[in-house]
Amino acid sequence: MDHSEQAGLGPRRLAWKTVAETMKRRVPLDDVLEELAPAEALSPRDEALARAIAIVTFRRLGTIGRALRERLNKEPRDERLMHLLAIGAAQILFLDVPDHAAVDTAVALAQEDPKLSHAGGFINAVLRRVAREKEAILAESDSWLNTPTWLEARWIAQYGEPLARKIAEAHRSMASVDLTVKEKPEDWAERLGGVLLPTGSIRLVERTAIRDLPGYEEGAWWVQDAAAALPARLLNAKPGERIADLCAAPGGKTAQIASTGAEVLAVDRSPRRVKRLEENLARLNFKAETRAIDAEKLDEPAFDAILLDAPCSATGTIRRHPDVAWTKGEEDIRKLSGLQSRLLDKAAALLKPGGRLVYCTCSLEAEEGERQAEAFLARHPDFVRRPIEPAEIGGWAECITPQGDLRTLPFQLELADHDRSGLDGFFVARFVHKGTA
């Protein structure tokens, strides 16, 4: 990076590249950011600003897109120009950034790009108009505006319009940061200034650098959404049991299982993700066998229990990863539901007679949740569902389905501080093999 360049240009350049590449390649924003950030050599603070700009661009992409289209005579052919306008508008409308900084840096970024150097005046005019008309733009922002129409239709069909609208509205807020602690959650909640949730997780109230918090270095806790912490608890692992955690990275659930004294095999197909899982376990001082292998190729039967956190569309994490709404489609759900079925069948084959299987996805889609559970039971008459009881999840009965599965929705877990409410959308089903060990 040229240290003599205009102040604030680096983070905007990284945000612009990240948004453009995420949309072009249809891959997770965090993966793109991790790939692109080293070349910019930004400070942690500037990198955090780049991420914040990119995240809010996706979180409010519907509002931003409409605001820009209404102020353009004709939409530019160059998608990168539209992405540059989008990150500028995101700062003006939704971030605590001076309007002139958002406008001037967008113009400067265009001028350093040979294909867009002619567009400086155009960018200046459009973004200044967005700034002038900010109040009017925000006043007409509808609940559904920031949800792609294909997801809107799916959620209305599955949940009904009132609940579906509440899901869409929840996605307009940032996700809170939750922690799972090894022991003494009440003490750690007080020490960290957090809120102890009914499910046992700690929700942080203040946003601060995770590594700077008490307990990080000694591995007293790890970051894990309150919903994501439930599946491993519902496995009810016991000391000495042999348990497989399939699709395990980044390792939060592996850590939960290891903390019980069980012998854990953590499997993930990505060597890079397995390395991160191992680093996380080392910080927490937990032991688990790890293996970088496709779970479908695992051939070690006789596990007492298996946790399958299956690859999915991740539509339950849109509050945390708003790019998911704009990078996934119906075809992804079809492909992933097929993979989920195969992984469930594989898990069933790896269990001892009488063994336990917990299946979960961070998806709001029935094909990846409720329908998947029913289809598994139909294919495997040697398994039965073990219903989840409210007492197992802190008495939180509203998220248990009539069938006894767990279905969390992003607007649930309401707290007095509305900005700290909500959690990831998860589906969890628990099955037991009928045979006796």
Give the span between the Cα atoms of 88 and 64, in whole angstroms.
10
Give the max Cα distance, the chain. Answer: 75
Give the span between the Cα atoms of 155 and 316, in whole angstroms.
11
Q: Is 362 a catalytic residue?
A: yes
- Side-chain half-sphere exposure of 338, counting CA atoms within 13 A: 5
Q: Read out DSSP for 279-314?
A: HHHHHHT---EEEES-GGG-----EEEEEEE-----
Please, what's the b/e burial string for 207-216 (b: 16 or more CB within 10 A of its CB; e: otherwise)? eeeeeebeeb
Q: Whats the size of the chain, residue-wise?
A: 437
Give residue for tokens 């029913």: 374
Both tokens assigned to 202: 């700690």
By DSSP bridging, strand 202-203 and strand 263-268 are: unpaired
Q: Give the closest residue to 284 by CA, choosing from 262, 311, 254.
A: 254
Both tokens assigned to 350: 């790896």
Q: Give the closest residue to 10 by CA, choosing from 52, 39, 30.
A: 39
Give the span between the Cα atoms of 143 and 344, in whole angstroms.
36
Give the span between the Cα atoms of 12 and 40, in whole angstroms.
11
Both tokens assigned to 236: 């009810």
Q: Give the closest residue to 84 by CA, choosing from 114, 46, 57, 49.
A: 57
**Positive/negative CA dihedral, 285, 288, 289, 290:** negative
- Measured CA to CA in angstroms, residue 267 lies from 157, 165, 249, 251 at distances of 35, 37, 8, 10
Cis peptide before 44 (omega within 30 of 0): no
- How many other C-beta atoms lie within 10 A of the C-beta of residue 422? 27
Question: Are the C-beta atoms of residues 307 and 358 closer than 8 Å to each other?
Answer: yes
Q: Give the closest residue to 390 by CA, choosing from 198, 226, 228.
A: 198
Q: Rounded to a whole number, what is the distance in angstroms from the first to the last CA of the chain?
A: 62
Q: Which residues are catalytic?
A: 362
